[in-house]
């Protein structure tokens, strides 16, 4: 029979010889391979204790950024929503009251901000579109959840911790990539 | 003796067109249409005396007329220059004009704040389009920009003087459309500012039209303020019987909520004309008819596909028939999740079109 490629190997269907029938040699051959792998580098890690570092360009779950005083940067300009190819982002804007100047950076802010993580494809176009440095793709992935409802991320789920009230969590949320840049 | 009507021949960018005497070069160029037409920020066809201020419509006159074919020494504002027989105009084909246009845009942007992410005009702003086409990436201006405080002129209109480019269109609206003019330009030069005299309210029936004529976001609709971005609302042509105005408007809808009402605009961003009359609309139509049942909706407004407003709008879209209910004996499919039950955006209990000013935290989290 002519083979299509020269990589194909015909199965040897000759009856086994007496030596082969004992299987001893074949078992030994297999054990040598197993034994060799003990000394090789492991392909797996002990996940929750050890974590792999992400690539510098890894695109994880979005965070809504705050400025150095802890005010929300998002102004609900809608550019992330219009750039989003999966139409995952929705928002509602509101005007900042004079008493809320420590909360929001600009006179308009996002009163509601939602990302549908079931739709999100982590393309990063929202980050690219944002004129206010307000949305970033962080270096963590979206948590697993039992129900679909849990994947509609509200503003509270997305906001980065306050840099002054909770500096440790803030630094952690910034991730390695941001820390290097600063 | 019946005088024979004179027809002038004018050539703009090698395209020759016959126009009546008294036409401006800009109008002749608009008759040709397309890229030949110089942009205009201050000129407005329906406002007498407008034009000649912003200098964006500068063109080069390569030959003054058939009788005197010498070129004009400087670039001229096409909105204020009348055509002559045998005139030769260079607009796009002239390096000088394009250079001047870029410079004018840079000048207009010197004091203009870059707060497009906040501005309600973004998406339908003439200056935004213009700077997108002709502007530079960064400003060379290093000094402090002029700033003013926001001002509510009347209950419906908000003035952001910082954004104003002093095109004077709104003062012409006040002059020519309303019977009592209460606002104008105060001070001179860098300090000049559009204002009412000592915060006087503007409460004229046609004052809302100054929102439509404003080429930037200096005059914006307070009833629409921050409620949605222009390109997420759906423009629909609609009309009603109004005893004060033509009643032909564009509704800007979110779902069935009328978030904003404006006059219908033509391709040059000016109000459309009906029977030779500009279709200005009155304040009652603009600010008080915020229910869909007030209007007879005609259909989706034609939006050029180059505009961001056209995103997500599909005129002539035919949705395929839902067949599951038919096959299942009238039972509609069981949804695994209804997004409207979980999502807090577009809450049916909060109707943005019914609140007068912008939404605030009180709107979304009312005190118990």
Over the stretch A107-118, which tens digit does the pLDDT of each residue have?
Answer: 999 999 999 999
CA dist B344 → A31, A91, A111, B246 (Å): 60, 9, 10, 39
Domain B8-108 indexed as CATH 3.40.50.1370: no
* A44 CB-contact burial (10 Å; exposed 0-12 / middle 13-18 / buried 19+): exposed
Average pLDDT estimate for B341-364: 86
* Option in B118, B342, B364 nearest A108 (CB): B118
Q: Return the pLDDT at A178.
A: 53
Triad B259, B152, B55: Cα angle to 5°: 85
CATH topology of domain B126-139+146-221: Alpha-Beta Plaits (3.30.70)
- Positive or negative, the Cα torsion across A144, A149, A150, A151? positive
Say if A170 falls within a structural domain. Answer: yes
Kindly calculate the radius of gyration of chain A based on its CA atoms and give it in whole angstroms: 27
Map residue B342 onto helix, strand or coil. Answer: helix
Q: Per the CB < 8 Å rule, is A108 touching B308?
A: no
Q: Per the CB < 8 Å rule, is A108 touching B344?
A: no
Parse chain B into domains and list their residue ranges. Answer: 8-108, 126-139+146-221, 230-310
- A-chain CB neighbours of B117 within 8 Å are 75, 77, 79, 106, 131-132
Q: Per the CB < 8 Å rule, is B117 touching A154?
A: no
Confidence of residue B1 (pLDDT cuts 50, 70, 90): very low
Determine the Cα–Cα distance for residues A73 and A106; give it in Å rounded to an integer: 7
Determine the Cα–Cα distance for residues B149 and B9; give it in Å rounded to an integer: 49
The answer to whether the beta carbons of residues B241 and B285 sit under 8 Å apart is no
Q: Return the pLDDT at B315.
A: 80
Specify the DSSP class assigned to residue B286: I
Please name the residues in contact with B34: beta carbons below 8 A apart, sequence gap of 6 or more: none
Q: Return the pLDDT at B13.
A: 93
- Of all residues in chain A, what percent carry a pLDDT higher than 70? 96
Q: Per the CB < 8 Å rule, is B361 touching A108?
A: no
* A140 CB-contact burial (10 Å; exposed 0-12 / middle 13-18 / buried 19+): middle
Residues in chain B: 368
Q: Per the CB < 8 Å rule, is A91 touching B308?
A: no
Mean pLDDT of chain B: 89
Q: Per the CB < 8 Å rule, is B359 touching A79?
A: no
* Option in B115, B116, B358 nearest A95 (CB): B358
Q: A with B: how many residue pairs have Cβ under 8 Å apart?
A: 80
Alpha-carbon dihedral A44, A49, A55, A60, rounded to 10 degrees: 120
Say if A4 falls within a structural domain. Answer: no
Pairing of the two strands A62-64 and A135-137: antiparallel
Q: Return the pLDDT at B89.
A: 94
Please name the residues in contact with B321: beta carbons below 8 A apart, sequence gap of 6 or more: none
Q: Per the CB < 8 Å rule, is B227 touching A79?
A: no
Determine the Cα–Cα distance for residues B289 and B272; give it in Å rounded to an integer: 20
Q: Per the CB < 8 Å rule, is A93 touching B342?
A: no
Determine the Cα–Cα distance for residues B181 and B204; give it in Å rounded to an integer: 9
* Option in B115, B229, B336 nearest A78 (CB): B229
* Option in B343, B358, B362 nearest A90 (CB): B343
Among A107, A108, A156, most B C-beta atoms within 10 A, so best to mutate, is A108
pLDDT, one tens digit per residue, over B317-348 is 888 988 888 888 888 888 888 888 888 888 88
In the predicted model, is pLDDT for residue B12 greater than 70? yes
- B-chain CB neighbours of A106 within 8 Å are 115, 117-118
Q: How far from chain centre, in Å, is Cα B7? A: 32
Domain that holds residue A119: 62-181
Q: Per the CB < 8 Å rule, is B226 touching A93?
A: yes
Q: Per the CB < 8 Å rule, is A78 touching B232?
A: yes
* Among A8-22, A72-86, B90-104, B280-294, the least confident range: A8-22
Name the closest residue on chain A to residue B364, using Cα atoms: A111
Among B339, B346, B347, B363, most A C-beta atoms within 10 A, so best to mutate, is B339
Say if A139 falls within a structural domain. Answer: yes
CA dist A123 → A60, A174, B73, B285, B337 (Å): 9, 19, 54, 43, 24
Q: Return the pLDDT at A33.
A: 96
Q: Looking at CA atoms only, how far is residue B320 from chain A in angstroms? A: 21
Among A94, A97, A134, A135, most B C-beta atoms within 10 A, so best to mutate, is A94
In the predicted model, is pLDDT for residue B366 greater than 70? no
Sheet strands (E) in chain B = 8-12, 15-19, 58-63, 76-77, 87-90, 150-153, 157-160, 183-186, 193-196, 219-221, 234-239, 248-254, 257-263, 273-274, 277-278, 296-300
Q: Return the pLDDT at B229.
A: 93
Is the pLDDT higher at B136 or at B127?
Answer: B127
Please name the residues in contact with A134: beta carbons below 8 A apart, sequence gap of 6 or more: A64, A65, A72, A73, A74, A75
- Of all residues in chain B, what percent carry a pLDDT higher than 90? 53
How many Cβ atoms from other residues are within 10 Å of residue B175's Cβ? 14
pLDDT, one tens digit per residue, over A61-104 is 999 999 989 999 999 999 999 999 999 999 999 999 999 999 99
Say if A32 falls within a structural domain. Answer: no
Query: Whole-model pTM above 0.95?
Result: no
Mean pLDDT of chain A: 89
In the predicted model, is pLDDT for residue B214 greater than 90? yes
Q: Return the pLDDT at A180.
A: 46
Q: Which segment, A9-18, A47-56, B235-244, B332-341, is predicted with the most confidence on average?
A: B235-244
In the predicted model, is pLDDT for residue B60 greater than 90? yes
In the predicted model, is pLDDT for residue A152 greater than 90? yes
Determine the Cα–Cα distance for residues B253 and B230; give it in Å rounded to an integer: 10
Confidence of residue B253 (pLDDT cuts 50, 70, 90): very high
Q: Return the pLDDT at A181.
A: 45
Confidence of residue B357 (pLDDT cuts 50, 70, 90): confident
* Among A124-128, A129-133, B126-130, B182-186, the least confident range: B182-186
How many helices (H) and strands (E) chain B has is answered by: 9, 16
The answer to whether the beta carbons of residues B236 and B301 sit under 8 Å apart is yes
Name the closest residue on chain A to residue B344, using Cα atoms: A112
Determine the Cα–Cα distance for residues A141 and A145; give it in Å rounded to an integer: 12
Say if A39 falls within a structural domain. Answer: no
CATH number at residue A66: 3.30.70.3270
Q: Return the pLDDT at B275.
A: 87
Among B148, B226, B254, B353, most A C-beta atoms within 10 A, so best to mutate, is B226
- B-chain CB neighbours of A80 within 8 Å are none
* Option in A82, A94, A154 nearest B363 (CB): A94
Say if A44 falls within a structural domain. Answer: no
Average pLDDT estimate for B187-194: 84
* Option in A75, A79, A95 nearest B360 (CB): A95
- A-chain CB neighbours of B232 within 8 Å are 78, 81-82
Q: Per the CB < 8 Å rule, is A94 touching B232?
A: no
Kindly calculate the radius of gyration of chain B based on its CA atoms and give it in whole angstroms: 24
Alpha helices, DSSP H, located in A96-149:
125-129
Give phi and psi for B263, each to the nearest 5. Answer: -70, 160
**For chain A, what is the domain count?**
1
Determine the Cα–Cα distance for residues A74 and A130; give it in Å rounded to an integer: 9
Q: Which residues of B touch A (CB under 8 A)?
A: 115-118, 122, 225-229, 231-232, 308, 311, 336-337, 339, 342-346, 357-364
- A-chain CB neighbours of B363 within 8 Å are 94, 111
Edge-to-edge strands, sheet with A89-95: A89-95, A108-116, A152-153
Confidence of residue B313 (pLDDT cuts 50, 70, 90): confident
Name the closest residue on chain A to residue B254, using Cα atoms: A92
Q: Return the pLDDT at B114.
A: 86
Q: Return the pLDDT at B47.
A: 92
Say if A96 falls within a structural domain. Answer: yes
Among A72, A76, A89, A92, most B C-beta atoms within 10 A, so best to mutate, is A92
Is the pLDDT higher at B155 or at B196?
Answer: B155
């Amino acid at each position: 029979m002519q083979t299509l490629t020269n990589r194909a190997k015909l199965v040897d269907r000759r009856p086994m010889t007496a030596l082969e029938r004992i299987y001893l040699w074949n078992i030994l051959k297999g054990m040598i391979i197993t034994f060799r792998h003990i000394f090789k580098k492991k392909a797996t890690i002990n996940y929750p204790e050890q974590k792999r570092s992400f690539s510098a360009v890894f695109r994880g779950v979005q965070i809504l950024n705050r400025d150095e005083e802890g005010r929300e940067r998002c102004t609900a300009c809608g550019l992330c929503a219009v750039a989003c190819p999966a139409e995952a982002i929705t928002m509602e804007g509101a005007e900042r009251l004079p008493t809320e100047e420590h909360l929001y950076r600009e006179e308009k802010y996002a009163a509601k901000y939602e990302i549908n993580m079931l739709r999100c494809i982590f393309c990063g176009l929202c980050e690219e579109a944002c004129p206010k440095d307000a949305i970033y793709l962080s270096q963590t992935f979206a948590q697993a959840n039992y129900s679909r409802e849990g994947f509609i991320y509200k503003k509270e789920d997305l906001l980065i911790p306050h840099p002054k009230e909770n500096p440790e969590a803030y630094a952690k949320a910034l991730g390695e990539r941001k820390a290097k840049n600063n | 003796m019946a005088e024979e009507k004179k027809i002038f021949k004018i050539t703009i960018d090698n395209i020759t067109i016959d126009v009546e005497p008294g036409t401006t070069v800009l109008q002749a160029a608009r008759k040709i249409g397309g890229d030949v037409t110089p942009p205009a920020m201050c000129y407005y066809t329906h406002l007498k005396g407008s034009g000649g201020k912003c200098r964006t419509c500068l063109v080069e006159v390569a030959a003054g007329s058939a009788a005197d074919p010498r070129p004009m020494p400087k670039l001229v504002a096409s909105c204020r220059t009348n055509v002559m027989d045998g005139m030769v105009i260079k607009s796009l084909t002239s390096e000088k004009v394009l250079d001047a246009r870029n410079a004018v845009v840079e000048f207009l942007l010197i004091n203009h704040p870059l707060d497009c992410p906040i501005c309600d005009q973004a998406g339908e702003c003439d200056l935004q389009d213009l700077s997108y086409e002709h502007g530079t990436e960064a400003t060379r201006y290093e000094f402090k920009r002029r700033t003013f405080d926001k001002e509510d002129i009347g209950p419906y209109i908000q003035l952001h003087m910082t954004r104003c480019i002093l095109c004077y269109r709104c003062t012409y609206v006040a002059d020519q459309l309303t019977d009592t003019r209460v606002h104008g330009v105060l001070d001179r030069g860098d300090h000049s500012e559009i204002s009412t005299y000592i915060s006087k309210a503007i409460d004229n029936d046609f004052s809302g039209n100054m929102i439509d004529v404003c080429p930037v976001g200096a005059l914006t609709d307070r009833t629409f303020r921050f409620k949605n971005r222009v390109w997420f609302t759906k423009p629909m042509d609609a009309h009603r019987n109004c005893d004060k105005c033509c009643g032909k408007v564009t509704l800007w809808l979110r779902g069935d909520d009328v978030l904003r009402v404006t006059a219908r605009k033509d391709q040059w961003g000016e109000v459309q004309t009906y029977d030779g009359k500009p279709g200005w609309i009155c304040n009652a139509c603009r600010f008080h008819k915020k229910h869909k049942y007030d209007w007879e909706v005609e259909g989706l407004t034609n939006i050029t596909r180059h505009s961001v407003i056209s995103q997500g709008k599909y005129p002539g879209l035919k949705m395929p028939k839902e067949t599951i209910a038919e096959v299942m004996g009238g039972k509609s499919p069981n949804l695994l999740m209804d997004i409207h039950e979980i999502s807090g955006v577009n809450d049916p209990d909060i109707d943005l079109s019914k609140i007068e000013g912008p939404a605030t935290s009180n709107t979304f989290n009312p005190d118990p």
